Amino acid sequence: MLIFSGVSHVNAFLQAHKGPGVQHIALHSQTMTATVKYMNDNGVVFRKPPAVYYQEGIKLEEIEDIGHGEEIELFRELGILLDAEKDVFADSDMPGQKRYLMQVFTKPIFEEDTFFFEIIQRCGATGFGAGNITALAKAIALSQQQVDKPLDF
């Protein structure tokens, strides 16, 4: 079991605002890489997951299985995360359809580190990227072990 130290973005928000509220707004894109490139070129600063997120045992196989293996370096450069959903319609008329989402998060947009934007492209997926939470936690822990310092994600 991995154990993580530090304050999560959710806890930071709750502490800063003394309770729940709007932490981020998600914007849908139909062309994830083009959208993120455009925003990046125009000054939007995105969070970058640790490089190990894109390696074997974390997300590499999933990204390749979905059909985006040739874009792995571009995803890494732009900070794009990918999360596959199980085929919830396996017993229906749509067997074998791969459902996934791609997402990327901006750095906080205000001085207080509690509000950001998410850019998301849904490819049949209906979830919120729960697999990315686990993959990011694992990647952060592995990166911290490698360099013995906290990471900015």
Q: Where are the domains of the chain?
A: 28-147
Where does the pLDDT of residue 96 fall: very low under 50, low under 70, confident under 90, or very high at 90 and above? low
Facing residues of 11 across strands? none
Give dist(CA 54, CA 57) in Å, integer. 9
Q: Domain 28-147 adopts which CATH fold?
A: 2,3-Dihydroxybiphenyl 1,2-Dioxygenase; domain 1 (3.10.180)
Per residue in 34-70, pLDDT (tens digit) is 999 999 999 999 999 999 999 988 899 999 999 999 9
Residue 101, token pair as written in the block: 């989402």
Pairing of strands 24-28, 116-123: parallel
CB contact burial 33-68 (16+ within 10 A = b; e otherwise): bebbeebeeeeeebbbbbebbbeeebbeeebeebeb
Pick the range with the lowest mean pLDDT from 46-55, 77-86, 108-117.
Answer: 108-117
Give the predicted TM-score (pTM) of the model: 0.79
